[in-house]
Amino acid sequence: MSENKDQKFVYDFTEGNRDLKDLLGGKGANLAEMTNLGLPVPPGFTITTEACKVYLASGEAPAALRDEVSAHLAALEAKMGKKLGQSDDPLLVSVRSGAKFSMPGMMDTVLNIGLSDESVAGLASQAGNERFAWDSYRRLIQMFGKTVLDVDGELFEEALDEAKAAKKVAVDTDLDAADLKKLVTRFKKIVAKQAGREFPQDAREQLDLAVEAVFNSWNTDRAKLYRRQERIPSDLGTAVNICSMVFGNLGPDSGTGVAFTRDPASGHAGVYGDYLQNAQGEDVVAGIRNTVPLADLETIDKASYDQLMTIMTTLETHYKDLCDIEFTIERGQLWMLQTRVGKRTAGAAFRIATQLVDQGLIDEAEALQRVNGAQLAQLMFPRFDEGASTELLGRGIAASPGAAVGKAVFDSYTAVKWSRSGEKVILIRRETNPDDLDGMIAAEGILTSRGGKTSHAAVVARGMGKTCVCGAEDLEVDTKRRRMTVGGKVIEEGDVVSIDGSTGKVYLGEVPVVPSPVVEYFEGRMHAGADDADELVQAVHRIMAYADRVRRLRVRANADNAEDALRARRFGAQGIGLCRTEHMFLGERRELVEHLILADTDKERDEALSALLPLQKKDFVELFEAMDGLPVTVRLLDPPLHEFLPDITELSVRVALAEARKDANENDLRLLQAVHKLHEQNPMLGLRGVRLGLVIPGLFAMQVRAIAEAAAERKNAKGDPRAEIMVPLVGTVQELEIVREEADAVIAEVEAATGTSLKLSIGTMIELPRAALTAGQIAEAAQFFSFGTNDLTQTVWGFSRDDVEASFFTAYLEKGIFGVSPFETIDKDGVGALVRSAAQAGRETRPDLKLGVCGEHGGDPESVHFFHEVGLDYVSCSPFRIPVARLEAGRAAAESKGSDSR
Ligand code: PEP
Ligand code: MG
């Protein structure tokens, strides 16, 4: 990262705005925006993410930074009428991290910079409050020691606990000035001993070290883990906000709080937040003392409350979205410390989007950008069965919805360990902190006994879409003894508990689950217009209607039986994009397939094929009926034949044992021979797909005949079958030409015999690099392409799709080689580039070539956007992912329309 001479590394809050998130981070950009809106923001300035990038790349802050900070600090001092650390009346500042994307609790903050042994007395006399000054000073040493000088934070906590115990008081507010003064001496000794240096008395040195610590906090393990989890790029860096301090700990007429402009769990308008009197910033989020609901502020300080309500309305109208805020009241004066578009539950996202449309704040296209497929998928999870007999253990705050069942664990280490060995766990803590992140990721759900809707556990769980119940105060969590007690009942580590993040209820044992109302709606068992349809279903219905109206991509299903096809249709599928016929060769039909494989003569083989024909035909009739009037792409047999034969080891043992007993079965012997003959070292690269069709005479012809006869039968029954025949694993046009010729002849025969005109189209999968590279030639023989991105990913990367995810993907993900498995989200630069060029080449040869995708990526939100962009006609995915694909196809279209008109 090189420095540009004219680059500006520091922006005053009056200079920025909310669009500068890349440069000023989310917090800095929004502080600037609020300042420009005329809201009461304490003055300050922001050091840019560019400065952080220089520091991270070179290990040193940019050369120009020091002078720029000095100039902005001087301006701030002039505005405030006092100097940083001035002994008789110190200006104090906070130093807060703030990246482009919110990373709650992941990076560092230091408050009260500017206090020293000298200026603490100045602060005391200015504030007329000695206790406050010493409390502020001990907080500075504690935060500075922990985050800047790497001192174990527990040591400060222990010293604080001892001070409280010595005085026989329960909360820190009961410690007086003299106690806090002693604590400061103790804290300074802890720093000197642990950090090997004295706590710095020079205010500017404190500031510079704190800024550096914030830069460094970008790369802590927990920040890296969070970024990986949330897919936040690792090279963005953080900005640093330096803000004049305002104090919530000046007495009962002061305090600090967090609030949402509407309920982040339901979307309902109202007063949602927590307030803590006589406290400073971090106390609320950390859930250290119990907060009161924000509504109580109305009685505590009506004027500030009214002003806050007005500001919240201003913010919601300005941002046109739910905002969350942090504020402080200093002796009756309200200050805004932060705002941002707030995280919300999946259900609230849908409801808020439609509420904002109704309020006229946003339009339908914007509403689509306010929700996403991952949220919709979450809403399709089952819920607990309310009718089930359950043992209610207690109730907390419904912080992040979902129904989670698992074994109780009381620390993150165990959560990770047990989940790695396949156990489902619920992480139970008194409260969580950023060190619990990996445990939270590993757990099915999170349960805490303390903290509100804005506690760390709640905020992080909502961000991850993980079930969370917090502040369940009846539970006494004893992490040391790895258990919790509720009304005399003891729940030990390993006992199963169920938590409901939508109601806040905590149950003992496993509670059965029922389908979500959103699935009931998609299934057609609940109607959005019905009186009893809940708000969520209505919101989902409206958003899906917007998506369907604007999307260009059609959505089909991967389904190979009538039941799945019917469900897919209810879920909005516009056809079947992949019917895998191999599933029709299993079960009781396996024996017929064995006959086919073992056939020695043409006659035997024809008999085996003739036995399979009516069965296949019946399958297709059912499928075409279920999808009447819609396209059904039937893929000819793909997997290697040995998959239909017994396991080689099992069969060898059986034959060996039988031979030892001298009663070897002739059929088993022939089977074993065939298994040996068909055995391949790399079956995925072996005799499968079109290759099978070319070496087993009659196999594909039988399948084509079954399809054609089924279509003719449906036609004669006045149906509207729209079959498409798809050839798998083609690498060169010659393969396709041979299969086509045979298929065309069979179809003509069936048409003649049944007196119908079937209009069957024949196309191919594009799932090998060679096929993609020669797509222009292949399109000569194909009426459609369907990209098989599973095999294409496997062959482009040279990754075995059956093995690599379990063997080394974890290491690859940890090393950041990719942020997500390429089998899950399309690798745009590699596999995606082939899809793009093949689509283009195919269309050059045949302008009306139909293009689709039927690999797993067809139902993946990010990949759907890519397929929209490269101009495919449809995506095909499993029935349950269809609503997600419809929504994302709508979002992609709305997004590209937006960018076209810009
Ligand atoms: C593919 O390869 O993407 C595909 C859809 O086919 P299959 O998964 O059956 O190999
Ligand atoms: Mg394939």
Q: Length of the chain, please?
A: 902
Residue 576, phi then psi, degrees to nearest 5 = -110, 125
Which residues have C-beta within 8 Å of that of residue 377, sequence separation ≥ 6?
881, 884
Parallel, antiparallel or unpaired: strands 255-262 and 323-330: antiparallel
> Which SS3 state, helix, strand or coil, does residue 524 take?
coil
10 Å CB burial of residue 101 (0-12, 13-18, 19+) is middle
Nearest CA to ligand 1 atom 8: 790
Q: Is 114 annotated as ligand-binding?
A: no
Q: Is residue 635 annotated as involved in ligand binding?
A: yes
Nearest residue to 481 via CA among 411, 396, 393, 426:
411
Per CATH, the number for 255-341 is: 3.30.470.20
Q: Which residues line ligand 1 (CB under 6 A)?
A: 578, 580, 638, 767, 788-791, 854-855
pLDDT tens figures, 17-60: 999 999 999 999 999 999 999 999 999 999 999 999 999 999 99
Distance CA 499, CA 412 (A): 18
Q: What angle do CA 48, 49, 50 make, to 5 degrees?
A: 85
Residue 509, annotated as binding a ligand: no
Give the active site residues.
456, 854
| Residue 2 φ then ψ, to 5° | -100, 155
Atom of ligand 1 nearest to the CA of 857: 3
Give the residue ranges of the chain where pLDDT is below 70.
Answer: 1-5, 105-107, 229, 282-289, 453-454, 463, 465, 532, 806, 899-902
Would the annotation count 788 as a binding residue?
Answer: yes
Q: Report which bound ligand comes closest to the CA of 877.
A: 1
Q: What is the pLDDT of residue 282?
A: 65
Q: Report CA(749)–ligand 2 centroid distance (Å).
A: 30
**Nearest-atom index, ligand 1, CA of 854:** 5
DSSP class of 91: B
Q: In terms of DSSP bridges, do strands 238-244 and 93-99 run parallel, antiparallel, or are they unpaired? A: antiparallel
DSSP 539-565: HHHHHHHHHHHH--SEEEEE--SHHHH
Same fold, 381-514 and 551-585+616-640+691-901: no
pLDDT at 223: 85
Q: Which of 383, 372, 644 is nearest to 514 (CA)?
A: 383
In ligand 1, which atom is closest to the CA atom of 855? 3
**Nearest C-alpha to atom 10 of ligand 1 is from which residue?**
791
**696 CA to centre of ligand 1 in angstroms:** 21
**Closest residue by CA, ligand 1 atom 4:** 788
- Residue 767 assigned ligand-binding role: yes
Which of these CATH numbers, 3.40.630.30, 1.10.1040.50, 3.50.30.10, 3.40.50.720, describes 381-514? 3.50.30.10
User: pLDDT value at position 901?
Assistant: 45
CA of 728 to the centre of ligand 2 (A): 7
Query: How far away, in angstroms, is 791 Cα from ligand 1 center?
Result: 6
Report residues near ion ligand 2: CB below 5 Å: 767, 788, 791
- Report which bound ligand comes closest to the CA of 577: 1
**Is 128 within any annotated ligand binding site?**
no
Choose among 499, 517, 518: nearest CA to 508: 499
* Residue 775: φ, ψ to 5°: -60, -35
End-to-end CA distance of the chain: 31
* Alpha-carbon distances, residue 559 vs 246, 577, 714, 877 (angstroms): 61, 8, 19, 8
Question: Rounded to two decimals, what is the model's pTM?
Answer: 0.81
- For the CA of 578, the nearest atom of ligand 1: 5
The residues spanned by each domain of the chain are: 255-341, 346-377+518-537, 381-514, 551-585+616-640+691-901
Closest atom of ligand 1 relative to the 787 alpha carbon: 3
H or E segment and range at residue 326: strand 323-330
Upper half-sphere CA count for residue 719 (Cβ side, 13 Å): 23
The secondary structure of 740-796, three-state, reads HHHHHHHHHHHHHHHCCCCCCEEEEEECCHHHHHCHHHHCCCCCEEEECHHHHHHHH
368 in Cβ contact with 350 (< 8 Å): no
CA-CA distances (angstroms) from residue 85 to 94, 163, 271, 481? Answer: 12, 27, 38, 46
Phi, psi at 787, each rounded to 5°: -75, 120
pLDDT (0 to 100) of residue 902: 37
Q: Which of 576, 765, 872 to mutate to test the pocket of ligand 1 (most atoms within 8 A of CB)?
A: 765
Report the nearest-CA residue for atom 3 of ligand 1: 788
**863 C-alpha to center of ligand 1: Å?**
16
Report yes or no: 379 and 347 within 8 Å, Cβ to Cβ.
Answer: yes
Give distance in angstroms: CA of 855 to centre of ligand 2. 7
Residue nearest to atom 6 of ligand 1 (CA): 788
Joined together, the tokens standing for residue 32 give 């600037």
Domain 551-585+616-640+691-901 has CATH 2.60.40.10: no
